[in-house]
Amino acid sequence: MKLSRRNFIKAAAVSGAVLPFAHALATEKVTSNPSSIYYFTKDLDGYETEFMAETLAMTGVDGLDLTVRPGGKVDPSRVADELPKVIEIGNKYDLATDLMVTAITGTEDRQTGEVLKTASSLGVKHYRLGYYRYDMSAGILKTLEMIKPRLNALSEMNRQYGIQAGYQNHSGGMVGSPVWDVWEIIKDLSAETISSQFDIRHATVEGNTSWRFVLHLLANNIGSLAIKDFTWLVEKGRARVVNVPLGEGVVNFSQYADILRELNLIGTPITLHVEYPLLTPAQEHYSLLEKQKIMVRIIEKDVRFIRGLLS
């Protein structure tokens, strides 16, 4: 039987299991906000699927951005057996699995077709690609040119299976750290098959104020939005990134939301990334129920932030 969020909340309240944080469950999905929020499951992959889905159902997210990659919730080599089971459990808690995260970078791996075929047949609409790295012996421009044929082949496979890929701009050494490179490798492809997963946190790390120009540039090619926050910690004259809850860092979310409205991007699927620790080292030793209470409070706070920002 499919367990809707309303019925789940009611049943949980009757059992008394979640009364200490019932406020986190009291709000139904805000239907006036057209942007669906999916949760990037990486930090919950180590838990049983039922526990993961139950926990996320309490937070108010709309669905899962599921890891289907080596070391993820679903291993690509077992996708035909494992993915339907995980999606079925998510559905039981009224969680859609429209998004997934993969390590796919081309069609050469025989598992690529199986993953995309299986995912598409189960209703997955969008997947995040793996990353490309710069070949400094070839040079930056040559590296980008070498990537394009691989994306062309993926574009055709995506069209065959009716699924969209998204390349996430990620700070560090990956192609797309300078977000202009994302535009360069996808500009000649249909956004229906190859798109940008625009990550405001990583874009801000690499371009403190220039991210807004690239957001304009990529607007017609954006298939999903990854949202998280960070701040800078300076120690002994060196700065490093520290991930924090939404609204507590340096990402200019007010300006970001204004530009999303200006570019008509409200309604684009959102993947919420909680990259800061959900539990302290001491809390890792708590009971599973106590851990769940803490995680729900934390994730639900970020969900409320997004809904408030975009509604």
In this predicted structure, what is the pLDDT of residue 6?
43
Q: Who's near 93: CB < 8 A, 6+ residues apart?
A: 3, 5, 8, 53, 54, 56, 57
59 burial type by CB count under 10 A (0-12 exposed, 13-18 middle, 19+ buried): buried
In this predicted structure, what is the pLDDT of residue 33?
52
Summarize pLDDT for 202-238 with one digit per residue, the tens.
999 999 999 999 999 999 999 999 999 999 999 999 9
Summarize pLDDT for 240-298 with one digit per residue, the tens.
999 999 999 999 999 999 999 999 999 999 999 999 999 999 999 999 999 999 999 99
pTM of the predicted model, to two decimals? Answer: 0.89
What separation in angstroms does the CA of 215 have from each of 28, 98, 198, 264?
31, 23, 8, 12
The SS3 assignment for 163 reads coil
Summarize pLDDT for 130-187 with one digit per residue, the tens.
999 999 999 999 999 999 999 999 999 999 999 999 999 999 889 999 999 999 999 9
Query: What is the set of domains in the chain, with CATH numbers?
Result: 5-310 (3.20.20.150)
Asked whether residue 32 carries a pLDDT value surpassing 70, the answer given is no
Least Cα distance to 103 among 123, 85, 127, 125 occurs for: 127
In the structure encoding, which two tokens stand for residue 46, read together? 């180590």
